[in-house]
Homo-oligomer: A and B are copies of this chain.
Amino acid sequence: MNAPEHYSDALSRSELFAGISPKMLKDILGRGIHVQLKPGEKLFHEGEHADRCYLVIKGRLKLSKLHEQGKEIIIRYIDPGAIAAAIAVFKGKRYPVTATATGAVEIVGWDRDTMINLISSYGQLAVNLLQFTIDRIEELQNRFLELSAEQVERRIARALLRIMRQSGLKTGEGVEIEFKLSRQDLADYTGTTIYTVSRTLSSWGKKGWVKSGRQRIVITDPHALVGFSENN
């Protein structure tokens, strides 16, 4: 298998493969399987046996957990270059979350044996994996604190800024979230309802902080939003 051109872009951004030479990368990529996902398609379900981990090449995965009565909570989004289920795959455990494609998604997957093999071949991988895990725990702890200590509007502000930093695209109007992000998604991400999100974005729209339409959000005044999320 020969890696297509656009792989290098995702890989160069990857936290997991930082500090690994192009030659090694080629080897690593060659050992994975290539998968394409349609919008909304699920890559794996919460509770399933974790037999593979995946690197996102193009598009975005949404990691979420489901609660009884259909309420969903979004744990995080996985951008190109980032990896999903890297930790779960090691222990042959079950996936603790569900992964869904937002838009068309391209990924590379490795099974458990291959991963263990790779780790022992490339020491840097283990270090990166540890770093990655630490970051995940910290991110979760931070969001946990926010969720319990802050009011909804501020949580939405922080969420939007976090997503903007991860997946923002500078345009003439401001910074646009470069994937489809509905009110429902934001609500699930911040632990609120679509109604509150809608009202909030509405009010920010009037202030000129954001422009938002159907599954599309542009932050026109990031500075103001940061101020709001921190001050007062």
Q: What residues of chain A have their CB less than 8 Å away from a CB belonging to chain B?
A: 65, 67, 71, 73, 75, 87-88, 90-91, 93, 96-97, 130-131, 133-134, 136-138, 140-145, 147-150, 191
Q: Chain B contacts of A73 at CB under 8 A?
A: 144-145, 148-149
Q: Which of B93, B138, B149, B191 contacts A96 (CB 8 A)?
A: B138
A65 and B145 in contact (CB under 8 A), knowing A91-B130, A91-B131, A131-B91? yes
A137 and B67 in contact (CB under 8 A), knowing A148-B191, A149-B73, A149-B191? no
| Bound-complex Cα distance A71 to B147 (A) | 12
Q: Chain B contacts of A140 at CB under 8 A?
A: 137, 140-141, 144
Most central of A65, A93, A97, A144 by chain B CB within 10 Å: A144
Report the minimal beta-carbon distance from A149 to chain B, rounded to whole angstroms: 4
Q: Chain B contacts of A71 at CB under 8 A?
A: 149
| Bound-complex Cα distance A138 to B93 (A) | 11
Interchain CB contact under 8 A, A137 and B133: yes
Number of copies: 2
Q: Chain B contacts of A191 at CB under 8 A?
A: 147-149
Interchain CB contact under 8 A, B133 and A133: yes
Report the minimal beta-carbon distance from A138 to chain B, rounded to whole angstroms: 5
Q: Chain B contacts of A90 at CB under 8 A?
A: 130, 134
Q: Which 8 A-B pairs have the closest CB atoms?
A: A148-B191, A67-B149, A140-B140, A71-B149, A96-B138, A65-B145, A73-B148, A73-B145
